[in-house]
Amino acid sequence: MSIDQQQSPATTLPLRTAWLVLVVVFLADVMDLIDSSVANLAGPSIRADLGGAQVTVQWVLSAYTAAFALGLVTSGRLGDLLGRRRLFLLGMTGFTLTSLACGLAPDVVFLIVARTLQGLCGSVMIPQGLALMKVVFPPQHLRRALMPIGPLMGLATVAGPILAGWLLHLDLFGSQWRAIFLINVPFGLAAAALAWRVLPRRGGEDPTARLDLTGVALLTAASALLIIPLIQGRDLGWPAWTYAMMAAAAVLLALFVVSERHSRHPVIAPSLFRKRGFVVGMVVVAGFYASLSAFVLVINLLLQQGMHWTPLRTGLTLLPWALGTAVAVLLAGAVLAEKLGRASLHLGLSIAVVGLLALWWSVAHWGADLTAWRLAPALLLTGFGSGLVFVPLFDFILGDATTEEVGTGAGLLNAAQQFAGAVGVAALGTVFFARVGHPSVHSHLAAAELVFGIAAGLDLLTLLLVGLLPRHAQQAHG
């Protein structure tokens, strides 16, 4: 997401209308976050209905998050060029229609294509909404308007699997898993209608902005060449072309870096990569969200495919994780981040590591005798630790960024978060299925142990790197 180099004056809107714009932006964000997580729990049901190999679940998840991440890199610039209101309405309408297409998908290939288009539409919609908020709210009200976003986004992230379990249990009109996508349609139509009425005609566009098509093409191609072999490689026995694609991804990524240095309108502000905190922060975000996405995928696969629990029972089992996250998000937003500073991230990641190790021990110790109550303490710890990280993480990574760099940096971190989630699902999902081999309760348990251990290791790595981030959050500088 690019930051406007020449901010236009704030659009004169009644404060009541500005708060309605916030409602529209929040609805868009919630639809995106829930849609990126509901398929975790519904994955086994989708595969049982539409068929396909084990990689079906990975593709349904990764197609959305990878497309979303790739679209975020350029959609802020497109907002400058084509108009933020226009692109928000286009993205919201497209997201609603592709949600309908997902819900009506006749086969796996159609669903994966629809999920990819849904992710692209989401990536067009989200950054325009955030940019419009900066225009419609006067400076003295903007921070108050943004304060609830972090906690609410954290809660929406963990609400997805629980909502999916409830919808699958209800089986509305015999729709089975399709309801998790169809539910977006009425909300999307309502949000689009409200957006049409309240969004300002001008959204702080920058008429001097240009799109670096070479950089966009190189970055998109490199990402696709990485994701495809990670997902398909194990299922196909790792043929030579999978290694060739990953090598080509590395080459194209290097070419992207060279292209950015010589571009007059770079996709990413080069000055950001001269800041140690931002570079380290990208690794922290990648490790944390890859671990989180792998944990959510594998706990659902273990309980549904391995233990043969129903989606509702699985969703209810995850309630301690959701509760821990909710409590921690409120604490992090209200108390800990300000009082403890960077130490709040150390605390959160330490608790998350302990929670994942407790989960690993629970699976290893109880085996086929696992119950929701036996998993609850480990899930509560894992959720609480993650919740402490959700709210302040980006603020500390951008702690030494200038005002001109914050917009680009936040958009790039958001893209890194989504892309790391896709890679986490692809890579650790592959590890899980490789360890499962011939499906049985015990092979699923052994595979889950391995992935939980790796996820704990990723969180431990991010914990060690947090000390290199700026000591103070961006808000501390006003």
Whether the per-residue pLDDT at 173 is higher than 90: the answer is: no
Note the pLDDT of residue 30.
79
Instruction: Specify the higher pLDDT residue, 274 or 303.
Output: 303
How large a percentage of the chain has pLDDT more than 90?
A: 24
SS3 labels along the chain: CCCCCCCCCCCCCCHHHHHHHHHHHHHHHHHHHHHHHHHHHHHHHHHHHHCCCCHHHHHHHHHHHHHHHHHHHHHHHHHHHHCHHHHHHHHHHHHHHHHHHHHCCCCHHHHHHHHHHHHHHHHHHHHHHHHHHHHHCCHHHHHHHHCCHHHHHHHHHHHHHHHHHHHHHHCHHHCHHHHHHHCHHHHHHHHHHHHHHHCCCCCCCCCCCCCCHHHHHHHHHHHHHHHHHHHHHHHHCCCHHHHHHHHHHHHHHHHHHHHHHHCCCCCCCHHHHHCHHHHHHHHHHHHHHHHHHHHHHHHHHHHHHHCCCCHHHHHHHCHHHHHHHHHHHHHHHHHHHHHHCCHHHHHHHHHHHHHHHHHHHHHHHHHHHCCHHHHHHHHHHHHHHHHHHHCCHHHHHCCCCCHHHHHHHHHHHHHHHHHHHHHHHHHHHHHHHHHHCCCCHHHHHHHHHHHHHHHHHHHHHHHHHHHHCCCCCHHHHC
Residue 424 · residue 294 · CB < 8 Å: yes
Candidate ranges 55-59, 67-71, 170-174, 473-477; pick with highest mean pLDDT: 67-71
Whether pTM > 0.85 for this model: the answer is no
Q: Give the start-to-end residue ranges of the domains of the chain.
A: 1-204, 268-478
The model's pLDDT over 408-426, given as tens digits with 9 standing for 90+, comes to 676 677 777 878 887 888 8
- CA distance readout (Å), 449 to 43, 361, 362, 443: 20, 8, 9, 10
Residue 131 · residue 10 · CB < 8 Å: no
Instruction: Specify the higher pLDDT residue, 6 or 405.
Output: 405
Note the pLDDT of residue 3.
36
* Euclidean distance between CA atoms 299 and 216, whole angstroms: 35
The model's pLDDT over 205-220, given as tens digits with 9 standing for 90+, comes to 566 667 778 888 888 8
Which residue reads 């209200």 in tokens?
334
Note the pLDDT of residue 144.
66
Average pLDDT over residues 152-180: 73
Which residue reads 């996508």 in tokens?
181
Q: Which CATH class is domain 1-204?
A: mainly alpha
* Euclidean distance between CA atoms 295 and 312, whole angstroms: 18
Residues 6+ apart with CB under 8 A from 363: 302, 370, 445, 448, 449, 452
Question: How confident is residue 2, by pLDDT bands cut at 50, 70 and 90?
Answer: very low
The model's pLDDT over 89-103, given as tens digits with 9 standing for 90+, comes to 999 999 999 999 999
> Around Cβ 331, how many Cβ atoms within 10 Å?
18
Question: How confident is residue 248, by pLDDT bands cut at 50, 70 and 90?
Answer: very high
Whether the per-residue pLDDT at 454 is higher than 90: the answer is: yes
Residue 433 · residue 53 · CB < 8 Å: no
The model's pLDDT over 222-247, given as tens digits with 9 standing for 90+, comes to 888 888 888 777 777 788 998 999 99
Q: Which CATH number fits domain 268-478: 1.20.1250.20, 1.20.990.10, 3.40.50.720, 1.10.10.10?
A: 1.20.1250.20
The model's pLDDT over 31-46, given as tens digits with 9 standing for 90+, comes to 887 777 677 677 778 8
Which of 132-141, 396-405, 450-459 comes out lowest in average pLDDT?
Answer: 396-405
The model's pLDDT over 344-396, given as tens digits with 9 standing for 90+, comes to 889 999 999 999 999 999 999 999 899 999 999 999 999 999 888 877 787 77
Note the pLDDT of residue 91.
92
Note the pLDDT of residue 382.
95
Whether the per-residue pLDDT at 158 is higher than 70: the answer is: no
Query: Is 268-478 in the same CATH topology as 1-204?
Result: yes
Residues 6+ apart with CB under 8 A from 60: 39, 43, 46, 111, 112, 115
Structure tokens given for 189: 């139509």
Average pLDDT over residues 275-280: 82
Instruction: Specify the higher pLDDT residue, 169 or 406.
Output: 169
